[in-house]
Amino acid sequence: MTEGNFTDYVKIRVTSGKGGQGSAHLRREKYVAYGGPDGGDGGRGGHVIIQGDKNLWTLFHFKFKRVYQAGHGEHGSKQTSTGADGADVYMKVPLGTQVKDAETNEVLFEITEDGEERIIAKGGKGGLGNNHFKSATNQTPRYAQTGLPGEEREILLELKLLADVGLVGFPNAGKSTLLSVITSAKPKIADYEFTTLKPNLGIVQYRDFRTFVMADIPGIIEGASEGKGLGYYFLRHIERNSTLLFLVPADAKDIYKEYEILLNELQKYNPELLDKERLVAISKSDMLDDELKSEMKIELDKNFKEIDYMFISSVAQQGIQQLKDKLWIMLNKNEED
């Protein structure tokens, strides 16, 4: 998935179809002198339906089409024939898509399962034909109902990535480089902050043809939970990751303090994020010799008491397989238990 093709937020206008009109037809046959009403009902207007699709990873396909209109129901006809229902329109979205009302910003629902369908705009009900209105005192009603109008509304689609591992770190911590090395993803990489402006997904190939999904979330800065920098637009993606991999560069002034700032931003945004499995990877560790690593471990062991950490280097391919092993164990711990 290239960065330019990733879209995680779109505004869409949807309109369902209006119901067909009921028929006010009266029977006219050669040997029936006084034919009664035989008008059929109008067809239902088409629904606009949102459907989950596990093969989609982005909302990019909505970028060039922002209006969806379902078909109108057909009118009823003679011999109590019901009009055909209007054609439904299906909007396929990736799993983890949240649907909101554009006016109120209210969350309407979230699509989390493949094939899950939710109607976002109901088609109008078809009108009743005159056959429904006959009675002992009104044997030839010459009227029928008109169909009900459809619904029109604007909605927001917001994607929360459904990845196994979410990469969390400050800008220029080496997240994109790690993703490019550990997966086949090709994110933009450069030596300046905020290189990644869109989340990137990659599939990690593990032993025995097993895989798991990793997401590179754009760099967090202090105050992101309050909207600073790239703000909470990307923090929402972390909510869907089962394991969080914190990346802190080896040349950071205070590795544990950077980790605490990142953790604090997640806690401010959503305290439930602290319940997720966590691992700290100290990146760019090819800059460290064995003696310096040993000195750093003494200090790190004092601080990282309840969470594991490890040294890695994406460029020098150091500790990458050990990182995969550790992440796989964390992701499958519940199954093994």
Taking only the tens place, the pLDDT of each residue in 234-244 is 666 777 788 99
Dihedral sign from CA coordinates of 301, 243, 195, 1: positive
Give pTM, 2 decimals.
0.67
Count of CB atoms situated within 10 Å of the CB of 26: 16
Structural domains in the chain, CATH included, are: 1-159 (2.70.210.12), 165-336 (3.40.50.300)
Task: Using CB atoms within 10 Å of the CB of residue 38, give its burial: 0 to 12 exposed, 13 to 18 middle, 19+ buried.
Answer: buried
> What digits encode the pLDDT tens for the residues 274-306?
888 999 999 988 888 888 888 899 989 998 888
Q: How far is CA 103 from CA 151, 170, 231, 275, 286, in A?
A: 15, 34, 22, 33, 51
Per DSSP, 198 falls in state S
User: Residues marked as binding for Mg(2+)?
Assistant: 176, 196
What pLDDT shows up at residue 317? 86
Q: Is 47 helix (H, G, I), strand (E, B) or coil?
A: coil
Share of the chain above pLDDT 70, in %: 85
d(CA 17, CA 28): 32
Question: Contact at 8 Å (CB) between 117 and 10?
Answer: no
More reliable by pLDDT, 94 or 14: 14
Question: Contact at 8 Å (CB) between 80 and 121?
Answer: no
Q: How far is CA 40 from CA 22, 24, 129, 132, in A?
A: 6, 8, 5, 9
Written as six digits, the tokens of 167 are 């990469």
d(CA 151, CA 72): 12
User: Residues marked as binding?
Assistant: 169-176, 194-198, 216-219, 283-286, 313-315
- Flag whether pLDDT at 141 surpasses 50: yes
User: Residues marked as binding for GTP?
Assistant: 169-176, 194-198, 216-219, 283-286, 313-315
Give the range among 36-50, 115-129, 141-155, 232-246 with minimum mean pLDDT. 232-246
Supply the mean pLDDT for the chain: 84
Share of the chain above pLDDT 90, in %: 42
d(CA 71, CA 67): 13
More reliable by pLDDT, 299 or 29: 299
- Short-list 238, 229, 222, CA closest to 175: 238
Q: Is 282 helix (H, G, I), strand (E, B) or coil?
A: strand
